[in-house]
Chain A
Amino acid sequence: MKNIFLVLKREYLVRVRKKSFIVMTILTPVLIAAFYGIIVWAAVGSFKNERKTIQVIDQSGLFKNKFKSDKNTTFQFTTESVAVAQKKLKGKEENLLVFIPADIMTRPEGLQIYAEKNIGPMLQGRIEKIVQQELRNIKLSKAGITQKVIEDANQNVDAQTFSLDDEGKTQSSSTMAAYVAGYAAAFLLYIFILIYGAGVMQGVMEEKSNRIIEVIISSVKPFHLMLGKILGVAAVGLTQFLLWGVLTFAVTTATQTLFGFNRFTATQEVMNKQAEQADPELKKEMEKQQNGTLQMMNNFTKSAQSLPLTQIFLCFIFYFLGGYLLYSSLYAAIGASVENQQEAGQFTFPIMLPIIAAIFFAQLAINQPDGSLAFWTSMIPFTSPVVMMARIPFGVPAWQIALSMGFLVLGFVGTTWLAARIYRVGILMYGKKVNYKELSKWIFYKG
């Protein structure tokens, strides 16, 4: 027992002190935060005020006073041909060219906007909206409908959309949160099992090729050595997981503070200001949209809070340990049986197969968390950790979780026993190419 702990301690300290561990542990949350930051920055940045000069070629003659310049955008009407005006755009990023053909009334898709680079959705929308509204106004007034009626109609529509949104989104965002949580948990588990399982194999192979193994097992029972190593690596995995959690929280909090207390409000303000400058009509529209988005965000946060977070966390730890123990002991057996990476390949593939299948089943299970496929694959120990983690955010009956955990425990006790039989023979076997027949013989060797 003491020796298992000594082996565990060495394994843990050596791995935690490795540069790659430190870099990975620190870098990952920073990357996540940076990714987050870029999204926020891009969201804020895309609405940044820029002075634009927009040339308008209006062949229809309908829009004379409809384009109104403000402090950021200047509209200029020109009678030049499109070709000449296009040439003038060269090298002037801030300039745009709008071409309105003579037959715009009958062929609204004839509207063309040119720019040296991309135009930007805001500006495009604004120009389109001006043209569209004007066309509609002309058509409506031709049909005998006054401006006042149009405004009334608009207001009615507003009210209706708002209430509809309120009902519809709450439901969908709750499934959304479960979906995201399930997928993230399943995927994280999958990655952890693969990375740390392979880590155990590497460690065992290193001891074997270093030839230190004989010195060690003259002091420690092979089984204790294997167990100590597996548990040590598990401790490294948990440490990394917890550090990621803490660091991600710390870094994102810091990023949020840096970008203003509530980045969502910040973005909104910029958008509102921009919209106000552009068009009061647009502002109304946007506020409506924002209310919808805000609603959705709130709903998402609310439903995320309504997820069984403690249960997810505890189950994650359990299924990580269980799944990892199940697979890493097999990885340890392989590491002990082979002498180099190439040889290891032929044996790792059959082990990776069920893990890869598990992530596939998990995707199916997310779409149908209570289906029979989801049920059975979350009972079989080789797939249950990943699949069950995908199901848990949707709510799984306690008896199913208990049964699945029970099977998983039986599963890893079984694989560990099997692996230990192979391991103790394999680590002392040099210069012999092994195959499955050979491995199965080792299982039945005595002491």
Chain B
Amino acid sequence: MPNILEAHDIVKQYATHRALDGVSINVPKGSIFGLLGPNGAGKTSLIRIITQITAPDEGYVLLDGERLRPNHIQHIGYLPEERGLYKKMKVGEQLLYLAQLKGLSERQAMDKLKIWFQKFDIKTWWSKSIEDLSKGMQQKIQFVATVMHEPKLIILDEPFSGFDPINANLIKDEILELRDKGTTIIFSTHRMESVEELCDHIALVHKSKVILHGSKQEVKDQFKENSYAVSYHGTLESLPSDFEIISQKTDEENLSKANIRIVGATSVNQLVGNLISQVELVAFHENIPSFNEIFIKAVGGEMPEEVLK
């Protein structure tokens, strides 16, 4: 899959601290890319370089294989974490203005807006002032403002904050629909459950550096501990030394659950063979770390050794 966005060795130095220190990411076309990291890691600095709000001190960014140029802004839609609209302006006028700034003609903007107003069923809002709308309504308008010019790349910074669950779902469906149409979405968030649900690729930025990068599968594979969750009836006496029982417990209905790690050079089949000779196996699956665990481990310093090298 070709990359729609590539950042190469970006360095951004502010007076006293280095916000980005040799950051490189590749965002595959048509993916939902999670840009993760704790507060102050440098996510916003990176986004501001991609959106050309600031320029990098070193390194370069390619959009669709080309170095960033001023007219690339019309191919990017950006929803910042701190939302804001002109409070006194009418919804329609405001969206027309923002669309025109992105390079659409008034007529084109009008046509696109009609579709979105129909889709979100907000036709009656056209001539209302922003300040007369609820916060959730304002967020919807802001979302429309971000996507209405049909950019190739959409950058959403904490898109779900401020939405109730119904509207959050609506936005999620929109994001997926946009992805299916071929739009690439960079998605910056702290909420790992939405990363789990939506992202195909991630990059984890920590202390101005990218410490994890790759597809969902690749990243998770790096953090797998070769451990398996087992549910069974009966008593598990002991296992050969190639296997380590991490935890084990039995509930009131006599169903036992254990976490077993393969430590020696042996296969999963061997483990299963050993198990079925002793107990009645109910369920067996590999423990795959959640992004939440990965995030905490990576940021907390518990990086697997193979990742660090």
Contacts and interface: CB of A to CB of B under 8 A. Distances in A.
B59 to A, nearest CB: 13
A447 B88 CA distance: 32
Given A210-B84, A218-B76, A446 B57 contact: yes
B86 A3 contact: no
Contacts of A212: 84-86
A142 interface: no
A441 B14 CA distance: 11
B84 A211 contact: yes
Contact of B78 (A207, A211, A215): A215
Contacts of B142: 215
Contacts of B70: 221
Given A14-B88, A210-B85, A214-B53, A219 B80 contact: no
Interface stretch (B94-102, B246-254, B259-267): B94-102
Contacts of B48: 428
Nearest to A9: B97
A213 B100 CA distance: 16
B82 interface: yes
Interface in A10-25: 10, 14
Nearest to A219: B101
A220 interface: yes
A447 B54 contact: yes
A220 B48 CA distance: 13
Contacts of B15: 441, 445
Interface string A193-233: 00000000000001100111111111111000000000000
B55 A218 contact: no
Given A10-B97, A14-B89, A218 B83 contact: no
Contact of A211 (B52, B80, B98): B80
Contacts of A210: 84-87
B51 interface: yes
Given A219-B73, A447-B54, A447-B55, A214 B84 contact: yes
Contacts of B91: none
Given A14-B88, A219-B102, A220-B101, A211 B83 contact: yes
A211 B138 CA distance: 13
A270 interface: no
Nearest to A444: B15
B86 A218 contact: no
B27 interface: no
Most buried by B among A212, A216, A218, A447: A218
A214 B88 contact: no
A30 interface: no
Contact of A219 (B55, B84, B88, B98): B98
Interface of B: 15, 48, 51-55, 57, 70, 73, 76, 78-80, 82-89, 97-98, 100-102, 142, 145
A-B pairs, top 10 by smallest CB distance, nearest first, are: A211-B84, A447-B55, A212-B84, A219-B101, A211-B82, A218-B51, A214-B80, A210-B84, A218-B78, A10-B97
6 contacts: A14-B86, A210-B87, A212-B86, A214-B78, A215-B85, A447-B55
Given A7-B101, A215-B84, A218-B80, 10 more contacts: A6-B101, A14-B89, A207-B86, A210-B84, A211-B80, A215-B79, A215-B80, A216-B98, A219-B98, A220-B101
